[in-house]
Structures are given as structure tokens and as C-alpha cells.
Amino acid sequence: MDLLFVADPLESFRVYKDSTYTMMREAAARGHRLWACEPRDLRWQRGGPVTAPVREIELVAGADEHTDTWFRTVQHREVALRDAGAVLMRKDPPFDSEYFYATHLLGQAEREGARVFNRPAALRDHPEKLAILEFPQFIAPTLVTRDDEAIRRFHAEHRDIILKPLDGMGGMGIFRVGADGLNLGSITETLNRGGAQTVMVQKYLPEIALGDKRVLVIGGEPVPWCLARIPQGSEIRGNLAAGGKGVAQALSTRDLEIARALGPLLAARGLLLVGLDIIGECLTEINVTSPTCFREIGDQTGFDVAKMFVDALERAVAGEAAP
């Protein structure tokens, strides 16, 4: 099967920890051919299908995974996305206007017969921070607003809060305000830009000290291990990009409860791969654009997340192809 990965430039991959690379490696081991392009390569013209200039690549056996010599280009081709066995949208956040436009081009490719994972409409319908609002039974006290007075009232009620932008990634733009309210006004002005931008505010969860857990759900089923991303030093953020330490852990009873409640529902909407972020007992985010942590979980536990993923991908493609 020809697999088209729509992703960031291959040369930018840090494959020693890159989940997309682990998908490619598992797929190639099964004999699938690998194609790659960037979202900017997608194009459509009246009278024809959605196409892209792609690179067919091969993985270099024994290559140093800390360099960009991990692949070689076999050939360059112009392909219609509908001709791929599957299209995997693996562009990293942020979910900006160009990402949004790419999902519409991928949606058109779907209408032409392409099999796209995760489904473009589902990517648009599940913004990663706001998607939790559908599941209030699993989340901490949360406020979404532009109104600075509403934020002040929320702080007065909960005393210790977290404020974050809706379009942040990797822990960027996250602030904690304690009971003294120090700098709450300034932080609010910075994040909501004088009322022009919506902010998420949540009760601070002290369990963050034990880690912000990434629970992967594949084809509706939870991976039995999560990666707890533990803040280091005086940092409040556990994100690996913010210096957090990743420690693999077996799923807790609560983790399984949340994953089993959400997994089948999200899978039915076309989300083959989801990353649930859980702090303590609370769901904090639903990652759908380009969930990661395959390598860290595999390296620490021996559980082959990429195998589980490619198994699910093959089943999904076979199911769609069935009469």
C-alpha cells in the first residue's frame, strides 16, 4: 500500500524521538511504500483532483537517527491523493489558518475517494483545548472567555488557577496565578489582548507534580502505557518541549475510565489516533492533530505503539475498501 504522509519537512524530523518516523519504520517493515509531502504542496484545480508533488522515500538502514540521513529519495512524483492507499495528516501544530485550509483540501480529496487519517472534518471539529468541553464529567473547573471580569471572579472562587491561550502548543503561553492574585490583570491583558482573544482558565491541579499524562488511544482502544511528563525544577509545565521529564507508566483506573469512555466515540468520528492529556483525575486536552510519545513509551516499556497504530490503520483501510 502507498502511504502518503502530509507532514513537516522530513529534514526537520528528530527521528530519535519522532512518532511519525516510527509509523514510517513500521509501515516500511511491512512492505508499504512511503510518500511524503508538506501541507503547502496540496493543490486543486477545477476539472481535476487534489494532487501534490511527493517524494517517494526509503529508510536508510543503520543510519544515524540524530541526522537527516535517515531517508533517501527514490523519486519525485505528482500524485492524486485518491490514488494513495491512505493519507496520514501528521503536520505538527499550531492549528493556524493554513492548517485549516489544508483540512479543506484534504476534505475535497476525501470526497474524491482518498482515505485520510485523522479525518479532516474531525480535525476541525475537535480543537485540542476546547474539545474537552464536551466531557465536563471528566474535567477540572474550567472557564472559556474573553471577559477579564469573569476571569477575576473565577480566580476569586478557585484561588489558584492556570490561564492559557487556545492556540498554544508545547506549553507555550501558560501562566499560573496563586491565591495572592499577583499579576492576574497583566497576564489576562497579555492573553486576551484587551478582550480580543478567548482564553481558557482552569483550576490549578497540584497533581501536575506527578506528571501531565499522555494517554494514546488508537482505533478507539487505549495503549496500556502512558507517558507522564513531569515538570522539572520550578517549572509548572510538564510538556517535553518545556523541559519536562517523560516517564512511562501503566494506565491508572481513572485513565482507563476516561480513555474507554472517549475512545470509541472519537474513533467513530474518524479520529484514528488521539492523545488524551490527563492530570491527576482530570482530562485537560484532547490532541488530534499530530499526537506523539510513541518512541518514549516504546523505549521505556518495550510496547510497540507503532505496530498497534499500523495494525489499526490497515484495518481501517480494509474496512473502508470492503463492499
Please state, in angstroms and rounded to a whole number, the distance separating the CA atoms of residues 261 and 241: 29
129 is catalytic: yes
Catalytic one of 192, 214, 239, 295? 214
90 is catalytic: no
Residue 246 neighbours by CB under 8 Å, 6+ apart: 227, 228, 229, 230, 240, 293, 296, 300
Contact 54, 34 (CB under 8 A): no
281 is catalytic: no
Catalytic one of 229, 239, 255, 295? 229
Would residue 47 be called left, alpha or beta, if left means φ above 0 and alpha means ψ between -120 and 50 degrees?
Answer: left
237 is catalytic: yes
30 is catalytic: no
> Which residue has 480566580 as its cell numbers?
155
Catalytic one of 91, 203, 237, 295? 237
Catalytic one of 55, 287, 295, 296? 287
Catalytic one of 55, 91, 115, 129? 129
Torsion of CA 278, 283, 289, 293, to 10 degrees: 10
Catalytic one of 164, 203, 213, 295? 164
260 is catalytic: no
For 41, counting Cβ atoms within 10 Å of its Cβ (0-12 exposed, 13-18 middle, 19+ buried), the class is middle
Catalytic one of 18, 212, 277, 296? 277
| Sign of torsion over alpha carbons 13, 4, 263, 104 | positive
277 is catalytic: yes
229 is catalytic: yes
**Grid cell in block for residue 294:** 510513541
Catalytic one of 119, 285, 295, 296? 285
| Sign of torsion over alpha carbons 243, 306, 288, 102 | positive
Contact 101, 16 (CB under 8 A): no
Which residues are catalytically annotated? 129, 164, 214, 229, 237, 277, 285, 287
